[in-house]
Amino acid sequence: MVRIRKIEIQNFRSIRSLTWLPSPGLNCLIGSGDSGKSTILDAIDLCLGARRNITLGDTDFFGLDVSQPIQITLTLGQLPDMLKNLDVYGQYLHAFDSTTGQLQAEPMQGFETVLSLRLIVGSELEPIWTLVSERAQALGQERNIAWKDRLLLAPARLGTYANSNLSWTRGSVLNRLTEERPNLGAELANASREARATFGNQAGPQLAETLRIVTEKATALGVPVGTQAQALLDAHAVSISDGAIALHDEWGVPLRSLGTGSSRLLVAGLQRAAAQRASIALVDEVEYGLEPHRLVRLLDSLGAKEAPSPLQAFLTTHSPVAVRELRGDQIFVVRKAQDGTHHVLEVGVEDDVQSTIRMDPEAFLARSVIVCEGASEVGLIRGLDQYWTARNYRSLLAAGTAYVNVGGGEPDRCFARGLALLKLGYRVMVLVDADKPPTSEVVEAYRAAGGEFITWREGRALEDELFLSLTDAAVDTMLQRAVEFLDRDLVAAHISTQSQGRNSLDDILRLRQQQHPYSPEVRLLLALTSRNRKNGWYKSLTKFEILAREIVGPDYQAMDAGFTALIRQLFGWAHAA
């Protein structure tokens, strides 16, 4: 069960330089488009895959600079005995310090024994694979990993099409399930429809254990193959070779006819079953072709919920479903610096991060994040965005902005959550009420890390800003909405209780019918009444979304300038990304 302990990439596609110590289990890479996620998977595949040659071009060099060779180095640990053979690999074995990522020239007690495999491609585009060793180089020695060993080490790649793993082709996961191999015999030499019909009787007993595992995994994963998968000649095979023997269902239909999602799900399950022989899997866009529930099943097949994980898997995703299903130590953000160097940052398992993963996974897939004290602020921003988008303004979604709902409580939580996201390279804006001041030390730590924040005006919560800033006509509609959301008698009771009987809903409405404007005292009364924690009128994302879209947005040009300035600052920050 080999594991990649260290990945080093130089001058490959968008990556000028990257050094990363991956997790021995599941590594899910997230990040903006063109951040280099798929390039990392391709680098692993090119360096460790069972290939005698590869096809690369000038565009595979960083900045099209072919004078700087592509160099991909993988340090491999948890070596099987065959790779510790001193006669074969003795000069190339190193000691690896997992805490620093450093290699020692020779194996040492207390450190893991590893091999480092390097792929170099220069301007002539000829790939060269070598094991890295200064000792061997000093002796004028050079070697690669033996081909038979490369075949066993090669990672399984679950690409857009998984068909190659559903027949007994070279490198197929089927060849890694057991030692069984099909005996081609004379039947294949005269392959025809008759041979296809009868070959299953010949191959079935030879591949019984493999077929049993395939059927068992397919049934467990909900992939339809009937009561027993079969090994029959593939009707689409154009040549008589190992690849002509493919998996079929009970009714003789080739399993390569399965949909993309089913194929990937089945191959992932088979890769798990073959983990003792091939323990590294690569999956680009893990959600491709899968409904959410089947995506979760695929992640489980790759060992997402197991410790230790049976596989070392490298995934990329843009799916919040995938992010939500994983732990913070299984998720890694890929960041590209201005000089072309790349960094891979572990999201981590701190409470402020893990709770965001569960509640707002979309935030980890965005460029900019607005951390909101509660659902009210999220609803306000979403509703205003919908209002302006309907009038052909650019949406915050198009600007790559997501929201985090901290869920109320102490404002310090917003700044702690924001600081955790800042450390992962996100642009962060915190939006909090001003009725309870945060701890100054917490705010300063957040600001020192580059975070920005907005609060409503002194002593005000969001409801205060609305009732004290909107025009009289808009406040009329706010009251009307409260009655629609709750009940007229209930709203009236809230007002009477809050004012200790000095004001009533009927009195307020009668003054408005007489064209009297709302007094500052009545506006403040409505604000305090509406935001009562036990009896809040609008305390939900959906309700505030409606208020923002149907009341605040249309009233934006006429309402108080101090409030519009705060809204303008917030949206200006989001669109500046």
Taking the CB of residue 571, how many other CB atoms lie within 10 A of it? Answer: 20
Q: Give 195's pLDDT tier (boundaries 50, 70, 90).
A: low
Contact 154, 49 (CB under 8 A): yes
Per the structure block, which two tokens stand in for 411? 């404002």
Distances (CA, A) of 542 to 39, 254, 389, 392, 549: 40, 48, 18, 22, 11
- d(Cα 452, Cα 570) in Å, to the nearest integer? 10
pLDDT at 236 over 90: no
Identify the domain boundary among 118, 153, 188.
153
pTM for the whole structure: 0.86
- Whether 268 and 288 map to the same domain: the answer is no
As a whole number, mean pLDDT of residues 277-298 equals 88
For residue 401, give its domain range.
Answer: 350-577
Distances (CA, A) of 371 to 120, 210, 301, 350, 405: 45, 51, 34, 17, 6
How many Å separate Cα 575 from the centre of its chain? 23
- d(Cα 29, Cα 40) in Å, to the nearest integer? 9
In percent, the amount of the chain with pLDDT more than 90 equals: 67
Amino acid identity of residue 49, one-letter, is G
What integer pLDDT is reported at residue 438 of this predicted model?
93
Answer whether residue 339 is part of any domain.
yes
The CATH number covering residue 145 comes to 3.40.50
As a whole number, mean pLDDT of residues 153-177 equals 74
- Whether 301 and 397 map to the same domain: the answer is no
- Whether 383 and 335 map to the same domain: the answer is no
- As for how many domains the chain has, the answer is 4
What integer pLDDT is reported at residue 346 of this predicted model?
96
- d(Cα 101, Cα 13) in Å, to the nearest integer? 24
Q: Which residues of 535-558 are buried (b: 16+ CB within 10 A; e: fewer)?
A: bbbbbebebbbbbbbbbbbebbee
Answer whether residue 486 is part of any domain.
yes
- Whether 422 and 368 map to the same domain: the answer is yes
- Whether 239 and 292 map to the same domain: the answer is no
Contact 151, 138 (CB under 8 A): no
Identify the domain boundary among 257, 273, 289.
273
Contact 114, 95 (CB under 8 A): yes
310 prior amide bond cis, ω within 30 = no
Interacting residues of 63 by C-beta distance below 8 A, sequence separation 6+: 16, 340
Per the structure block, which two tokens stand in for 317? 């995703």
Write out pLDDT tens, residues 127-145.
999 999 988 888 888 999 9
Identify the domain boundary among 273, 290, 305.
273
- d(Cα 128, Cα 524) in Å, to the nearest integer? 75
Taking the CB of residue 244, how many other CB atoms lie within 10 A of it? Answer: 24
- Whether 296 and 356 map to the same domain: the answer is no
- Whether 411 and 300 map to the same domain: the answer is no
Write out pLDDT tens, residues 294-339.
999 999 989 999 988 889 999 999 999 999 999 999 999 999 988 8
Answer whether residue 158 is part of any domain.
no
End-to-end CA distance of the chain: 43
What integer pLDDT is reported at residue 270 of this predicted model?
76
- d(Cα 302, Cα 305) in Å, to the nearest integer? 9
Answer whether residue 40 is part of any domain.
yes
- Whether 202 and 91 map to the same domain: the answer is no
Q: Give 239's pLDDT tier (boundaries 50, 70, 90).
A: very low
Contact 29, 267 (CB under 8 A): no
Helices and strands (H, E) in the chain, number of each type: 23, 19
- Whether 237 and 366 map to the same domain: the answer is no
- d(Cα 228, Cα 187) in Å, to the nearest integer? 22
Tell me the β-bridge partners of 312.
280
Amino acid identity of residue 41, one-letter, is L
Answer whether residue 201 is part of any domain.
yes
Answer whether residue 368 is part of any domain.
yes
What integer pLDDT is reported at residue 53 of this predicted model?
84
Q: Count of alpha carbons within 13 Å of 29, Cβ hemisphere only?
A: 26
- d(Cα 206, Cα 245) in Å, to the nearest integer? 12
Interacting residues of 142 by C-beta distance below 8 A, sequence separation 6+: 130, 131, 136
Helix (H, G, I), strand (E, B) or coil at 104: strand
Write out pLDDT tens, residues 16-25.
999 999 999 9
Answer whether residue 159 is part of any domain.
no
Tell me the β-bridge partners of 455.
432
Pair type for strands 230-233 and 245-248:
antiparallel
pLDDT at 108 over 60: yes
- Whether 358 and 470 map to the same domain: the answer is yes
Tell me the β-bridge partners of 368.
401, 427
Per the structure block, which two tokens stand in for 137? 């180089």
Contact 254, 236 (CB under 8 A): yes
Q: Give 178's pLDDT tier (boundaries 50, 70, 90).
A: confident
Helix (H, G, I), strand (E, B) or coil at 566: helix
- Whether 430 and 542 map to the same domain: the answer is yes
Residue from 210, 206, 202, 250 nearest 230 by CA? 250
Answer whether residue 258 is part of any domain.
yes
Residue from 14, 23, 2, 275 nearest 117 by CA? 2
- d(Cα 145, Cα 84) in Å, to the nearest integer? 11
Q: Where does 462-560 have alpha helices with state H?
A: 462-469, 472-485, 488-498, 505-513, 520-530, 541-547, 553-555
- Whether 539 and 415 map to the same domain: the answer is yes
